[in-house]
Chain A
């Protein structure tokens, strides 16, 4: 496969890889590194790639595994440097505005979800994958995906309502 041909195959879904990576790793830089790594891995395997009929699903699976490995090794090394892990004591005006913005609330709420629910919510509500595709990607049954998705959506709703109420008080 030639370089341009490879790019034509990869470019339509590279943003999806990045968004999934960012959902899992939270930090923008790490997500970018992960995406580059995945694209490089794909490129090094590009002779085999014609054998896969669904390159996108394969790439998504690689991204998922890569990010989960990252998270695991980081926890083992006790070196977690993501935004949820430290608190900036002097809150700037910028962050104050961001916090008041309910869209960024949802991002924060999603950070707190368990990894599996995070991925399900990301794949379904952001990327609009079908249940079967998600089930294949995450190695779960379609029913389990449905349950996880329902839980994730309800959690987001509840937390959002809570934050709204605090805002009023």
Chain B
């Protein structure tokens, strides 16, 4: 490539009016070995930019935390379900026991009521007997 062209490009470069493609040309030109002496002082700049682009991020990309929090949320959900389950299960059990006790009491009471009814019938007979006895007494 001719000097003239390169010198013109350099001038444009320092005024920041070159395009990306033209800058690429400059970079390619100055990374070559045979740069003429009067342009050599610009070479380190372009060489540096090429070198700087080679720098890499070597650390591992850390993406673990999200997975961990996922497990955390599942365990929270599981524990809360367990607690609710125990709470409601127990209150249901209590309700059933109470109902059973109520039924038993009701049965016992009705048994008592029928026996009492039978008792009063017998007492009614007794009164009949008492009345007839009184009648007989009055006649004599």
Contact = CB atoms under 8 A, between A and B. Distances in A.
Nearest to B53: A126
B114 to A, nearest CB: 73
Interface string A3-37: 10011001100110111001000000000100110
Contacts of B48: 103, 106-107
Interface stretch (A76-84, A85-93, A145-153): A145-153
A57 B63 CA distance: 21
A15 B56 CA distance: 5
Given A14-B57, A146-B17, A161-B41, A19 B62 contact: no
Contacts, number: 77
B57 A40 contact: no
Nearest to B42: A157
A157 B24 CA distance: 18
B118 interface: no
A156 interface: yes
Contacts of B49: 125-126
A88 B24 CA distance: 37
Interface of A: 3, 6-7, 10-11, 14-15, 17-19, 22, 32, 35-36, 39-40, 43-44, 102-103, 105-107, 124-128, 130, 146-147, 149-150, 153-154, 156-157, 160-161, 164
5 contacts: A14-B57, A40-B62, A44-B66, A157-B14, A157-B45
Interface of B: 13-17, 20, 23-24, 41-42, 44-45, 47-49, 51-53, 55-57, 59, 61-63, 65-66
Given A128-B20, A164-B41, 13 more contacts: A6-B63, A7-B61, A7-B63, A15-B56, A22-B55, A40-B63, A103-B51, A107-B52, A124-B23, A130-B20, A146-B17, A150-B15, A160-B45
